[in-house]
Amino acid sequence: MRSVVYTKPGDSSVLTLEERPVPTPGPGEVRVRVVVSGVNPTDWKARQGGTYGDDLPFPEITPNQDGAGVVDAVGDGVDGLSVGDHVWLYMAAASRPTGTAQEYTVVPAARAVRLPEGTGFDIGASLGVPAMTAHRALTTHEHGPDRLAPGALNGKTVLVAGGAGAVGHAAIQLARWAGATVVTTISSDAKAALATAAGAHHTVNYRDEDASAQIRAIAPDGVDIVVEVSIPQNAALVAEVLANHGLVSIYANNGGDEATLPIRPNMSINARYQFLLLYTIGDEALTAAAEDVTAALRDGVLPVGEAAGLPLVRFSLEDTAAAHDAVEQDTVGKVLIDVSAE
């Protein structure tokens, strides 16, 4: 089979396309013929040494955590998945040497989730990192739900920082599905149009000097949950717009690795700052997210593509390096790799 690999950390030139044997699933695992591989910032950051440093944990690594495809072999002891099932994958390469930038990949059965009838592989390959992260960000409010479903966020206002980003897009869709009023920040009219297409009720340009006043005008009592991509840049704004007992879910270090928070305003409103990393949130949170995301898929509320606010940018498996570069260079939308025919 064709497999993209790297054996040392570095820029995208370390990626090469090789022939490798088709892997065999062990007990509790399934083998999936990958149709579409999804690329996220985590994939180029890991390849560049951001996760493992210079000492790769495996002699050879195939990148990409996300993907979608067809189950084509099932290991002993796997219940609930059969050959021929269409699945979406999450954390395919977490603590494992091989991800989805290859024609066949083996994953623990829990990381292959059946796609509802009629849900395509492009959507499936866009879910793992973005939607699972968004789910966690929306489910740790002190007085909020720990699961998402229609009505779960009724009466709550959610502020999604960067609504034209991949995680931001999923956060808008899930929050809207769950009944929240969704406000999002963006940096241009074009990104406002994408966030609106995703389902945001309101958009505010975070570069406007009066951005917090605009958000307060939309949400006079403040916002209940902030899905935050850049707390170093947004800490002051967040403290100005957060409601009493508000939650700030910090899932990224865009804009720097250290932030300064105004203590007194946050204290006065009993603010909670909740950090999260998908790889370490634990199986319970991952399973809850996978189930709720699949329920949202059944309701048809996680579309991708320009009309849904997330333009698709496609590459071939041979061009995996260019796909990684596109994500690293902040391409707007979702970067996908076509791996094999449907």
Ligand X SMILES: NC(=O)c1ccc[n+]([C@@H]2O[C@H](COP(=O)([O-])OP(=O)(O)OC[C@H]3O[C@@H](n4cnc5c(N)ncnc54)[C@H](OP(=O)(O)O)[C@@H]3O)[C@@H](O)[C@H]2O)c1
Interface contacts to ligand X, rule CB under 6 A: 40-42, 129-130, 133, 161-162, 164-168, 185, 187, 191, 206, 229-230, 233-234, 251-252, 254-255, 276-278, 330
Q: Least distance from C-beta 172 to ligand X, angstroms?
A: 11
Helix, strand or coil, per DSSP, at residue 87: strand
Exposed, middle or buried: residue 329 (CB in 10 Å: 0-12, 13-18, 19+)? exposed
Q: Least distance from C-beta 73 to ligand X, angstroms?
A: 30
Question: Distance of CA 235 to CAs 9, 10, 184, 206, 289, Å?
Answer: 33, 33, 15, 12, 27
DSSP 8-state code for residue 54: T
Structure-block tokens of residue 24: 């065999």
Point out the residue whose Cβ comes nearest to ligand X. Answer: 165
Of 133 and 140, the one with the shorter C-beta distance to ligand X is 133
Of 78 and 148, the one with the shorter C-beta distance to ligand X is 148
Of 41 and 199, the one with the shorter C-beta distance to ligand X is 41
CA dihedral 155, 272, 196, 192 (to 10 degrees): 150
Q: Least distance from C-beta 23 to ligand X, angstroms?
A: 26
Q: Least distance from C-beta 150 to ligand X, angstroms?
A: 24
CA dihedral 55, 57, 61, 63 (to 10 degrees): -90
Of 83 and 213, the one with the shorter C-beta distance to ligand X is 213
| CA count, 13 A, side-chain hemisphere, 239 | 15
Q: Which residue is associated with the tokens 């992260």?
A: 133
Of 19 and 189, the one with the shorter C-beta distance to ligand X is 189
Q: Least distance from C-beta 142 to ligand X, angstroms?
A: 20
Of 32 and 129, the one with the shorter C-beta distance to ligand X is 129
What is the gyration radius of the CA atoms in the chain, in angstroms? 20
